Amino acid sequence: MRVLAAMSGGVDSAVAAARAAEAGHDVTGVHLALSKNPQTYRSGARGCCTIEDSRDARRAADVIGIPFYVWDMAERFHEEVVEDFYSEYAAGRTPNPCLRCNEKIKFAAVLDRAMALGFDAVATGHYARKDSDGLLRRAVDPGKDQSYVLAVLTPAQLAHSMFPLGDTPKDRVRLEAQERGLAVARKPDSHDICFIADGDTSGFLKRRLGSETGEIVDAATGEVLGDHDGAHQFTVGQRHGLGLQRPAENGKPRYVLSITPVDNRVEVGPREALQVEHIRTGEPVWLAPERTGPFEAEVQLRAHGEVYPATVTADEQGLAARLHRPAYGVAAGQALVVYDPDAEAGDAVLASGTIDATRSPAAADESVEAAGV
């Protein structure tokens, strides 16, 4: 089978490419140049797409003994991922750029080009598994599992995807890289948002979206507690960096409860006000045969986040989930991923959807039904 191995310059993708080649596939390595102005060096474990990363990927391909190319995806990445990031924050939502990159770049643009060039599959260093039925499952290593950020794939994309590392713990992958003579064996994993190398998301957004003074108010009383220079710098559930001028009477911390971009207003309140029990998403992506419901499932609301038992109902507009216990700080723009609790260890992905609305346990039933949550 002809396999295109996406090689980021890190240890995971290098070992994935090596395993695909060792399995007898005809493997070609490709590094995706996602930055218009790649930096010369990484900043610790932050960022990616540097000149150093492309060189590391090339050296790994040489050791493995496979052809290697660099594909310029910078313009597509900026349009589909970075611009989406800006627009979502400007709308008061909290996006997950890793999901968008998987959806629009790694398993859309790259896979489409690979298929057009005669490749049969794309192999990546993601930690996830596919079973004999073609279903996406969690990785063996729960701490590294990436099925959540892969849940945006369509069944057709999943059918042409390979995840050689899904059955291996991360420490074993590093040891294998060392045994194979790959120089990236001890290279640190990249963290945070890859296109914000310094980790300053607020500053990154401010440079594009600008500054505009607005109020931070108590959600219960309407009292103005402080001001800010841009609602896009906040996310639901945020505790630090609020700059409030007056502490709560009970001395407990306040959290961001809601963001209203139209009037540049941020509402804050106690942690208990962050409770969410009802969640509604936009149009779902089904990785397994569609269900309507209601059906029992397990849902995950953020990457490497807690799993919640839930009752899920689905229609063409989206997914509606009623959590059996409340979650905290669920932000619109994140993904709700549904897992089958009847599968082995509850690890088979059924569907995903982008969160549009949430309701608290205290919401009246009629309000919940009216909102479709």
Give 320-370 pLDDT, tens digit per residue: 999 999 999 999 999 999 999 988 777 999 999 999 999 988 654 544 444
Q: Which domain range does residue 262 map to?
A: 211-269
Q: Are residues 280 and 235 in the same domain?
A: no
- Maximum mean pLDDT: which of 39-43, 231-235, 324-328: 324-328
d(CA 223, CA 247) in angstroms, rounded, equals 12
Put simply, whether the predicted model's pTM sits higher than 0.85 gets the answer yes
Residue 264 forms part of a structural domain: yes
Token digits for 221? 């009383």
Give yes or no: 48 in active site.
no
What confidence tier does 200 reach under pLDDT thresholds 50, 70, 90? confident
- Across the strands, what pairs with 43? 46
Helix residue ranges, H only, the chain? 11-22, 51-64, 74-77, 83-90, 97-101, 110-116, 147-150, 155-159, 170-179, 201-209, 365-371
Residue 236 forms part of a structural domain: yes
Nearest Cα neighbor of 357 from 278, 275, 280, 262 is 280
Tell me the pLDDT of the chain averaged across its residues. Answer: 89
Angle between helices 170-179 and 11-22 (to 10 degrees): 70
- pLDDT at 127 exceeding the cut of 80: yes
Whether 203 contacts 211, CB under 8 Å: no
Q: What phi, psi does 53 have (nearest 5°)?
A: -65, -45
Residue 200 forms part of a structural domain: no
Q: Are residues 170 and 54 in the same domain?
A: yes
pLDDT at 132: 85
Whether 216 contacts 227, CB under 8 Å: yes
Q: What is the CATH number of the domain that holds 216?
A: 2.30.30.280
- Residue-wise pLDDT tens digits, 250-280: 888 999 999 999 899 999 999 999 999 999 9
Q: What is the CATH number of the domain that holds 8?
A: 3.40.50.620
SS3 354: strand
Residue 297 forms part of a structural domain: yes
Residues 33-41, mean pLDDT to the nearest whole number? 66
Nearest Cα neighbor of 352 from 321, 306, 323, 309 is 321
Q: For residue 87, give the amino acid letter.
A: S
Token digits for 360? 């608290």
Contacts 24+ apart (CB under 8 A), 39-46: 39/197, 42/190, 42/197, 43/197, 43/198, 44/188, 45/188, 45/189, 45/190, 45/191, 46/190, 46/191, 46/192, 46/196, 46/197, 46/198, 46/199
pLDDT at 37: 65
Contacts 24+ apart (CB under 8 A), 113-121: 113/71, 114/4, 114/160, 115/160, 117/4, 118/2, 119/2, 119/3, 119/4, 119/28, 120/1, 120/2, 120/3, 120/160, 121/1, 121/2, 121/3, 121/4, 121/160, 121/161, 121/162
Q: Are residues 116 and 148 in the same domain?
A: yes
- Residue-wise pLDDT tens digits, 288-332: 999 887 999 999 999 888 999 999 999 878 999 999 999 999 999
Q: Are residues 136 and 242 in the same domain?
A: no
pLDDT at 42: 47
d(CA 38, CA 110) in angstroms, rounded, equals 20
Token digits for 255? 């959290």
Percent of the chain with pLDDT over 70: 92
Give yes or no: 98 in active site.
no
Q: Are residues 102 and 250 in the same domain?
A: no
12 or 35: which carries more pLDDT confidence?
12
Question: Among 48, 49, 98, 101, which one carries the catalytic annotation?
Answer: 101
CA quadruple 237, 243, 248, 252: dihedral positive or negative?
Answer: positive
d(CA 278, CA 267) in angstroms, rounded, equals 20
Q: Are residues 152 and 260 in the same domain?
A: no
- Residue-wise pLDDT tens digits, 98-122: 899 999 998 888 999 999 999 999 9
Per-residue DSSP letter, 191: B
Residue 232 forms part of a structural domain: yes
Q: Are residues 253 and 286 in the same domain?
A: no
What confidence tier does 282 reach under pLDDT thresholds 50, 70, 90? very high
- Across the strands, what pairs with 357? 280
Nearest Cα neighbor of 162 from 351, 33, 5 is 5
